[in-house]
Structures are given as C-alpha cells and as structure tokens.
Structure 1
C-alpha cells in the first residue's frame, strides 16, 4: 500500500506561529476548523482522524529545508514560548517552565525543534525524513 506523502516546506515559516500555520495548511486541509497553536494540538492531529489521514494510516512526512526550520524553532522561539507561559501563569505550571527556561539558558534543555521531532517520533505510523 502506498503511503500518503506530506511535504513540510521549512522555508515557509520563520517562527512558531508560522510553523503552526504550515501544519494547519498541510494537515487540516478541507476542515472547517484549525488546529490550535499548541504542541499538544500538533500531537493530537498526528494521531489522524481529523484532517488529511485516518488513525493508523501510514504517512510519509518529508521536511524540506530542515536546517532553516531549526533556526525558526530554535532558542529564541523556545525562550519566548516559556516566558509567555510563565507570564500567563495558571493554567500553566509556572515552576516547570521556569525550570525549562533555566535549562535553555544553560544550553542544556531541548529547543522547540527537538520537541517537535519527539512529537513526530511518538507516532509509529509516520515516517519522517529531514532534508536540507
């Protein structure tokens, strides 16, 4: 059976908000709603059942210009996300995000692009190929 192929064009976004827009464009085609701007929402849509593939369907995701995406989802955007969650407070676990921010400042914690790759990796039906 041929796998559905989805191509992420890493040059189309330069920050986390743009990344979410690209994910919506690719994974939520023909839907009358969009994925929220959250990593949990990304994880949810990768299970399938909404958007372009069904649960368990084999999918090949080719991520082009990945090095550019690493910059777009790098330290600056990671720090900004964690600082925003700390400022908002509840319902976010402020202590957790303060600790994560300290890890980033020590260059010891994962950046957004690491986290996104881990999320894709949690879905065995999705094969991810990174290209430059």
Structure 2
C-alpha cells in the first residue's frame, strides 16, 4: 500500500506481513508495492536492495521515504531460523552460480546462533539506505 499523504515530506510505503509467509511472498509483496507499473519483479536479495535506490518504481532516486512494515513480528517468525536455514540449504544444493563455501559458512553461523535470519537481512538492507526510514509495527 502506498500512502501519498506525507509525514514530514516523506512518502509512506506499507509492507504488510499479513500478506505473505515466505521470502517468495515477500518479493511478491514488495514488487506489487514498490514496482507498481514496472515490467519486472523482485526475486533476489540483491534485486530488493537495487529497487530501494529508487528511480524506477513508485519513488524517485534519493527521495526520502518511510517504510512501515506491518505485522513485522509475524514476518520475523516467518522469515526466521527455519526459513533461513532452508534458504541456505537450497543455495548449497543448487551449487553454481552460488558460492557454496560462503553459503555453508552462513548456514553454520546461523545454526551456531551468530548468523542473521532472512528477516534481519531484509531489515539491514532497508536500513542501509540513508533516504529510507523503517518503522516496524
């Protein structure tokens, strides 16, 4: 959902965790919201990072926006340890073009409790963009 009423000139974009329960579902949600009218969809973490720069979706390059992630606790669970473990196991199983050693290390770190979940990775990607404010609801 895109709310065109601005908070301090920031466009508000709402991601609804109730609309998805997997990484593929997250990609579908953000594609529908952030890439409305575009002819391609997000399908990777790198692709998600790329669209957050703006300029080819619903907001412009360097435009200040606020992303509100509703039902973020549900997403934190859905995109938590189990989903992340499956994500890395699938990459390892697929092999090239993925860096198997890196994926194995990330999986081992996750299991040891020192790795990031998919939810944490997505939050970090959003927060790495200085023009974007993230609010977890």
| 1:28-67 residue CA offsets vs partner (Å, 9 max, x unmatched) | 00112212x1100000000001111111001011111110
CA distance in 2, matches of 1:34, 1:10: 18
Q: Which consecutive unaligned segments of at least 5 residues does structure 2 have? A: 1-7
Alignment match of 1:127 (pick from 112, 130, 133): 133
Structure holding more strand per residue: 2
| 1:67-100 residue CA offsets vs partner (Å, 9 max, x unmatched) | 0010111111111110111111111110011111
TM-score, normalised by the number of residues in structure 1: 0.95
Q: Which consecutive unaligned segments of at least 5 residues does structure 1 have? A: none
Structure-to-structure mapping, 1:1-132, within 5 angstroms: 2-35=9-42, 37-131=43-137
> RCO greater where, 1 or 2, for CA within 8 Å and sep 6 or more?
1
TM-score, normalised by the number of residues in structure 2: 0.91
Give the paired residue count. Answer: 130
